[in-house]
Structure 1
Amino acid sequence: MADEEYISVEEVASIMGLSVRQASRYAAKVRTERINQRVLFHRDDVMEQARLKGIEHEARERAATYQPKPTKTDLVPAGEMLEYIRERDRQLAEVQAQLNQALLEIGRLQGQLTDHQQIRQQLTDIQSERDELKQAMERARPWWRRILGHD
C-alpha cells in the first residue's frame, strides 16, 4: 500500500461534497485500510464512485485543491498559549484583588450599618422615655394649670 493511494475520510468528504459522516458510508463500496483506529479510502475507488455519481469533474477539482485542516494542537502555538494563560492568570489575580477589596468594604459597611441600627434603637428608646417623662410631668401639674394653660 502506497500512502498516496489511500486518503482520509475528511478528504473523501471534500472530494464527494459530503459530510464526514456521509462519506464514511462509502467504506462498504470502496477498498479501505485501517490504520490506528482510522479508516483510509482507496483514492481510485473514491474517484470511480464520483464518476458513477456524475460528479467526476467536480471531484477532480476538489481533490486537486484539497487542503487538510490543521490538527487542534496546530491551531495555537505553545508559546502563544502560554502567553494567553499568563495573561488570564494576571487578569484573574486582578479580579481576585478587587473582590478582596470589595469584601473588606462590605465588612466595613456592615459594621457601620450595625452601629447605625444600634444608635437608631437608642434614639427610639430615648424618645420614648422623653415622651413618658412629658406625660408624667403633665400629670404632675396642678389641674387648674392644665385647664387654664398656665405653665
Structure 2
Amino acid sequence: MAAWDEFDRPSYERPVEGLKRIARYHRWLIAVVLAQLALWAGFIALTVLARGREPNMQFPFVLTLILGSVGGIFVFLLSWELRGAFAALVFGFATVVPCMGLLVLTLVSGYATAELRKHGVKVGILGASLADIDERPSLYDDEDAGW
C-alpha cells in the first residue's frame, strides 16, 4: 500500500502531535486569509473616501506580497502534514498565482478542517484549539475493550 493511502484509511489514528501541528498551521492560515481580506477591504474603503485623489498602490501590494508569502509557507506546511511532499509543493507554488492564491488557501483550509473533524476535534470559525485536541475522544480510550 502506498504511503499516501494510509492517511485515508478509516481506522488510521493520527498522532496527537500531528493533530496539534495541523491545528496550529490551520489557525495561522485562517489569520493570513483574514488579514488579506481586511487589507483589501480597508484599501477599498480608503479609495472610496479619497474622492478622486490617486491612491498609493505601493503599500497594499507590498503587504499583499508579504501576506501571500506567509500564506504560501503555511499552505506548504499544512499540505505536507495532510497530503505529502508533492501536494505541498504544488499547493505552495499555486499560492503565488494572484487570483488562485486565495482559492488555494481556502481549499487547504477545508482539507485541514475535514481532517481534524475526522479525528473528533471540534473546529470553529477560527480553527481548533489545542485543548480540544487533548480532550477529544480517542479510539483507544476504552480500557475494558481489550485483553
TM-score normalised by the chain length of structure 2:
0.26
Higher strand proportion, which one?
1
> What TM-score, normalized to structure 1?
0.26
